[in-house]
Amino acid sequence: MTERSLTETEILDSVRRNYEEVTENIARAAEASGRKKEDVTLLAATKTVEPRIINYAISLGLGHIGENRVQELLSKYDEYDLEHCDLQFIGHLQTNKVRQIVGRVSMIQSVDSLKLAKEISRVSKLGAVNTDILLEVNIGREENKSGVMEEELEELLCSAAQLENIRVRGLMAVPPICGTKAELGKYFDKMYKLFIDISCKTLDNVSMDFLSMGMSDDYKEAILSGANMVRVGSKLFGARIYR
Ligand SMILES: *Cc1c(COP(=O)(O)O)cnc(C)c1O
């Protein structure tokens, strides 16, 4: 016999419970690190999640969603309730796909090269829009991972800051998979230090508003290390089913 699939009500109920739990945990971690719950932004990572479920979460108060594949974002775009929520891009972005999302997303979190920043700037200017970006740092120096290396960050930042129609709003990272929370905490702390160091430099046209790090398994730790934006997927919507 096949397992009974969840009814619509059961699915929505679990999303509601998850949302309450995650927002409560965020509030607690924010307070434990001397901040208010409003100081930490929850962005829901919505890959594989159907728009009606996403919109249900938006109806509960979710204010930010992020997709990480261009095709999926475009196919779901007309169905998102974007009157009550902002849409960002959080995945690896190829330069030739930039024009498909500029104007549709408020922020692109995963900029790791000047080439990509230039294309976002060019397309934004053409469309007479401004696009916020975060610079993604490869904090674990992993070979097959996107992100700029720490020592190249400042140069990228200064060059990107000079481009028209984009604004650098902070940093983003996806740390390596770690065996222990202590090991992971070192990467989060390192990111926070980079974030603070750059904030202190007050570079023109750069505002270090967001430090985006922490996902379902580690968003509390990330907040305790100083993250002010967390990207949570499965802890909100359940395990992903890839089709
Ligand atoms: C999927 C994804 C997340 C969220 O992952 P979960 O572990 O399901 O919370 C966060 N950031 C990025 C870039 C992602 O692609």
Ligand 1 centre distance from Cα of residue 91 (Å) = 9
Ligand 1 centre distance from Cα of residue 66 (Å) = 9
Residues at CB less than 6 angstroms from ligand 1: 45, 47, 68, 90-91, 174, 215-216, 231-235
Cβ atoms of 13 and 57 closer than 8 Å? no
Please tell me the predicted confidence (pLDDT) of residue 4: 77
pLDDT single digits (tens) 172-208: 999 999 999 999 999 999 999 999 999 998 888 899 9
Please tell me the predicted confidence (pLDDT) of residue 3: 67
Q: Which of 100, 91, 93, 106 is nearest to 231 (CA)?
A: 91
Helices within the chain (DSSP H only): 8-32, 51-60, 70-76, 98-101, 114-126, 150-161, 181-201, 219-224, 234-237
Domains defined for the chain, CATH in brackets: 8-237 (3.20.20.10)
DSSP classification of residue 193: H
Ligand 1 centre distance from Cα of residue 44 (Å) = 8
Q: Which atom of ligand 1 is nearest to the CA of 235?
A: 9
Query: Ligand 1, atom 10: nearest CA belongs to which residue?
Result: 231
Ligand 1 centre distance from Cα of residue 215 (Å) = 6
Share above pLDDT 90 across residues of the chain, in percent, rounded to a whole number: 91
Q: In order along the chain (243 residues), what is the average pLDDT of each group of 10 residues?
A: 78 96 98 97 97 98 98 98 97 97 98 98 98 98 95 96 97 95 96 96 89 97 98 94 65
Q: Which atom of ligand 1 is nearest to the CA of 237?
A: 8
